[in-house]
Structure 1
């Protein structure tokens, strides 16, 4: 029986990907570097810090990683605040409220920065549903490294065998599985080119999930 649900954020709770993409490519232009769509897709699930560590090494950028992160964040924050049509993904609020109403613990484990997580929680008023908010900026390596999910599971009131992760990226699913957690892959139109075949269960819409269905998952049978 599942007692704790660990949510990824970008591409699962809210589609900030267009805002991130806009911010990244505006910043790439400023830095004078070229990033292909395929390379950009490989960044899915990685923290901004680790993306820029990679790009700094690849392109020999002189700026400190922290400065590069802040440069991209300025573009993101401005776009996030000004984008009127930004909303939660279809069906996820209903699922979050259903899980909370049925007493399941909710934990957020996102590669996003703490400031972005706080912006999402406040804008959509979903913070009170989550007992813990875990940011990827607190870990030296991004997904598929399992550290963020191992930490999230340690915050659970239930043992690891009673936790489930909801993820939309190949890196995220890998991180969850390496951490020894049952993983539901969310096949989102907002997260293309992601192989979720190694997830324990894949859904295409949150209407496929309810508190009852998730609670009834038997991870020991997988």
Structure 2
């Protein structure tokens, strides 16, 4: 059975946003008398703010503080990238999206980032209309590597997870995709190939992918029911 849906991560897959995220985290840290190392950033990139902040702050951070600090950081991030999305688009991203659309594949975004970030990126890339579903950090309680974001994305596409392929750049994202029962493609934009080796397919560039290659990945049998926690 061929794959019928594609779920894209956003950061590190469709846009090369790592530098802007690092800069915005450092602005936030400086405002609050803290510092963030490259190693800390690399270890947390792609996770939800509720998981990142306790690591960077070195203490427990309650939900109210997570919301306040997270909104401050994400507003800074959007200020940095607004009007620049096309300049940081991953090579081949737009072409792959349009190819998948032409092939009749249903598409979703499954991201740990807030919905405002996703909306800005898709709007400036001019591809928002191609996506039937968007799942962000505000839609699920448990972030990657929990499977919730991809389970909900598949549900919103009206497809079994086993008929969806996820394109991810982070080991935690690959873990989440496989736990959901999806096929997983690892993109080496942020991590070395060996870190993504548990994916079904690993590529160095989106230009190595096309709808036919994604559709030919083996559909997976249903896995134990893991309903997303919302």
What TM-score, normalized by structure 2, do the two folds share?
0.87
Q: Distance in 1 between matches of 2:60 and 2:168?
A: 32
Task: Determine the structure 2 residue equivalent to 1:183.
Answer: 184
Q: Which gives a bigger RCO, structure 1 or 2 (Cα 8 Å, sep 6+)?
A: 1
Q: Distance in 2 between matches of 1:139 and 1:215?
A: 27
Is 62-71 or 16-25 further displaced after alignment? 62-71
Aligned partners of 2:85 and 2:125 also within 8 Å? no
Task: Determine the structure 2 residue equivalent to 1:93.
Answer: 94
- Which string of whole-angstrom CA distances, capped at 9 and with x for unpartnered residues, describes residues 156-214 of structure 1? 333222111000001100111111111000111xx146710111110111221111111
Unaligned runs of 5+ in 1: none
Aligned partners of 1:2 and 1:164 also within 8 Å? yes
Task: Determine the structure 2 residue equivalent to 1:32.
Answer: 33
Q: Secondary structure at the match of 2:88?
A: coil
Aligned partners of 2:107 and 2:131 also within 8 Å? yes
Task: Determine the structure 1 residue equivalent to 2:171.
Answer: 170
Aligned partners of 2:21 and 2:77 also within 8 Å? yes
Q: Secondary structure at the match of 1:155?
A: helix
Alignment of 1:1-222 (within 5 A): 1-56=2-57, 58-59=58-59, 64-81=65-82, 83=84, 86-188=87-189, 191-192=190-191, 195-220=195-220
- Which string of whole-angstrom CA distances, capped at 9 and with x for unpartnered residues, describes residues 25-64 of structure 1? 11111112233222211112212233224445x2467982
1:84 Cα deviation after fit:
7.5
Q: Secondary structure at the match of 2:144?
A: coil
Mark the CA change 1:115 to 1:163 in structure 2 (over 3 Å): closer, same or farther.
Answer: same
Q: Distance in 2 between matches of 1:100 and 1:116?
A: 22
Q: Distance in 2 between matches of 1:116 and 1:54?
A: 22
Q: CA RMSD in A?
A: 2.1
Q: Secondary structure at the match of 2:196?
A: coil
Q: Distance in 2 between matches of 1:54 and 1:141?
A: 16
Q: Secondary structure at the match of 2:87?
A: coil
| Aligned positions, number | 218
Unaligned runs of 5+ in 2: 222-230
Q: Secondary structure at the match of 1:11?
A: coil
Aligned partners of 2:86 and 2:124 also within 8 Å? no
What TM-score, normalized by structure 1, do the two folds share?
0.90
